[in-house]
């Protein structure tokens, strides 16, 4: 029992040192690689992308669950993505995402997180099987940040990413993709 109390007190003390615990928001940039998975769902085309994402985050709560393993904060993310299709003659996708975010703050310098959300994309891949250029996206992922100082963190992130026209046009071939991203975030 004394060991559990000591571990709980240690986690609470470390959380006080986590820079996310006192931040109001963040600005960040992510970049990386994505690839669609042929025959996953109704995906029939291989599309590989170089991704660049500008991010702004706003915290909606103080630390929740203090002293527990799930201690963290709610955050809302606004992202402006650019996806360059490197295997489709430089065609691209651009749009906007709104994501819900949970940042675990029980550790001092490492901050794991999960995210989910979606948005709209203008898709110019030259694939007539997508039916229209106005498409929608949903995604979910997880990541880890490492704080190099009290305001700057390095990001490593994985996302499952879905794009389709949501049956607003026919045909409606979706792109089901995996994305691996790295980046940097600045907290204020």
- Decide if pLDDT at 56 tops 50: yes
On the question of pLDDT at 8 being above 60, the answer is no
Strand partners, 50: 33, 84
* % of the chain at pLDDT higher than 70: 91
Question: What band does 5 get if pLDDT is binned at 50, 70 and 90?
Answer: very low
Mean pLDDT of the chain: 92
Strands of the chain (E only): list them: 25-36, 48-59, 72-85, 92-104, 110-124, 134-147, 152-164, 175-187
The span from the CA of 120 to the CA of 98, in Å, is 9
pLDDT at 107 (0 to 100): 93
17, pLDDT greater than 80: no
pLDDT band at 14 (very low <50, low <70, confident <90, very high): very low
The beta-carbon contacts of 28-31 under 8 Å, at least 24 apart in sequence, are 28/54, 28/55, 28/56, 28/57, 28/155, 28/183, 28/184, 28/185, 28/186, 29/53, 29/54, 29/55, 29/183, 29/184, 30/55, 30/155, 30/157, 30/181, 30/182, 30/183, 31/181, 31/182, 31/183
* CATH of segment(s) 2-187: 2.40.160.20
Mean pLDDT of 36-53: 96
- Stretch 131-158: mean pLDDT: 97
Interatomic CA distance for residues 79 and 94, integer angstroms: 11
Range 60-74 average pLDDT: 94
pLDDT of residue 144: 98
């Amino acid at each position: 029992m004394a060991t559990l109390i000591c571990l709980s007190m240690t986690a609470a003390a470390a959380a006080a040192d986590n820079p996310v615990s006192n931040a109001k928001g963040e600005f960040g940039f992510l970049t990386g690689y994505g690839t669609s998975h042929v025959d996953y769902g109704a995906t029939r085309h291989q599309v590989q992308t170089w991704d660049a994402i500008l991010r702004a985050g706003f915290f909606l709560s103080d630390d929740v669950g203090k002293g527990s393993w799930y201690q963290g904060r709610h955050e809302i993310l606004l992202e402006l993505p650019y996806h360059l299709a490197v295997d489709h003659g430089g065609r691209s996708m651009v749009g906007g995402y709104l994501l819900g975010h949970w940042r675990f703050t029980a550790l001092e310098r490492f901050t794991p997180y999960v995210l989910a959300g979606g948005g709209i994309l203008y898709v110019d891949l030259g694939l007539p099987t997508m039916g229209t250029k106005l498409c929608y996206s949903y995604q979910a992922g997880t990541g880890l940040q490492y704080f190099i100082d009290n305001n700057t963190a390095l990001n490593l992130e994985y996302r499952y990413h879905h794009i389709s026209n949501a049956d607003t046009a026919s045909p409606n071939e979706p792109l089901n993709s995996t994305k691996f991203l790295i980046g940097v975030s600045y907290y204020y």
